[in-house]
Structure 1
Amino acid sequence: MLIRAAKRTEADSLSELALRSKAYWGYDEAFMAACRDELTVSASEIDSLRTAVAEHDGRILGFSTLEGSPPQGAMGMLFVEPASIGQGIGRRLFEHVIANARSIGFTRLTIDADPNAEPFYLAMGARRIGTTPSGSISGRTLPLLAVALTECTADDYDLPR
């Protein structure tokens, strides 16, 4: 498997992959329709979102984004093709984002996690620091997670001492 920078021409494919991946959790059609805008990656955003794809034999299996400016940013999206979930692709993409973030000077990333994906992020070393409003569903909150990219202290996670 290769992880590489996404191409602008892949924006539509990545957006559809994000929707398929989100639907994996059993959300209904109304919920998915409400999420469509938030899960859409435009060609003009590919570079600024530092979008990376995981591919094998020319087939995109997942993608991730690294958003913001150092020192603090966000792991904006991390989606894996449903048929490939559980094969380590999410882990490889997560590790890629972390390595890339460190190399360009980020010290902390936040993640607005789908509740179903929270266990994955916690297993990867993220910590829950609160909740955040959903960008798609009014009144819904999501787990807010953080990953410290330097030696960790309570301040890195905005936790009480």
Structure 2
Amino acid sequence: MSTGACRIRNAEPDEADELERLQERSSTHWGYPPGYFDWAGDARAIPEAYVRSNPVFVLEQDSKRLGFYAFTEGGDGLLLDKLFVDADEIGKGYGRLLWEHAVRTAHELGRSEFTVASDPNAAPFYAAMDAVQYATKPTAEPSWTLHMFRYVLSD
């Protein structure tokens, strides 16, 4: 039983390995077996330099990491590169908490929009958050495509 309130804080570089494991556990919610994303190479890696160089935020309660998100900057602007909730915590509203924090963070970064590259199973979540799907992108795994969303921040 939880005794504390949730909080979202900046991730620390020395948490990178734990965030990568949380990301892997989250993927099991959709039935992906361990190692399924090996075809993605380093795209799923979260090295300390990634945490140091990007806005990465952790949702925790009672010192337990429940989820996290990260923005990266690319040729297409600001990308919500990662948003993961631990598999045992999915469906409890933590994704929405992370999303709302991400929207505030994008606003604080002076952005008017950002994009999301989503797992096909998570696409309904982003649509429910009012992000608009504008494309799909193939990957090295023919049966798995990225669903691309754009979210425009309101004033």
Q: TM-score range by the shorter chain?
A: 0.7 to 0.9
Q: Are 2:35 and 1:34 aligned?
A: no
Deviation at residue 22 of structure 1 after TM alignment: 1.2
Which of 3, 12, 18 is 1:13 aligned to? 18
Q: TM-score w.r.t. structure 1 length?
A: 0.84
CA–CA distance in 2 between the matches of 1:2 and 1:44? 23
2:120 alignment partner AA? P
Secondary structure at the counterpart of residue 38 of structure 1: helix
Give TM-score, length-normalised by structure 2.
0.87
Equivalent pairs: percent with the same residue?
Answer: 34
Matched, 1:141 2:129: no
Which of 46, 51, 61 lines up with 1:56 in the alignment?
61
Are the aligned partners of 1:19 and 1:36 in contact in 2 as well (CA < 8 Å)?
A: no
Letter in 1 for 2:148: L
Matched AA of 2:43? E
Deviations for 1:14-36, whole angstroms, at most 9, x for unmatched residues? 00110111121012345233346
- The unaligned stretches of length 5 or more in structure 1 are 152-161
- Superimposed CA distance per residue, residues 39-85 of structure 1 (whole angstroms, 9 cap, x where no aligned partner): 2211011032210000000110000001117x931110000011111
Task: Give 1:138 shift.
Answer: 5.5
Equivalent residues in 2 for 1:78-93, closer than 5 Å: 78-93=83-98
Number of residue pairs the alignment of both structures matches: 150
Distance in 2 separating the partners of 1:29 and 1:52: 25
Q: Which residue of 2 aligns with 1:46?
A: 51
- Counterpart CA distance in 2 for 1:19 and 1:37 is 13
Deviations along 1:94-126, one digit per CA (max 9) or x if unpaired, are 111110101111111111110100000100110
Amino acid at match of 1:59: K
Partners of 2:29 and 2:134 in 1: how far apart? 26
Within 5 Å, give how 1:97-116 maps onto structure 2: 97-116=102-121
Q: Which runs of 5+ in 2 are unaligned?
A: 1-5
Q: SS at 1:131's partner residue?
A: strand
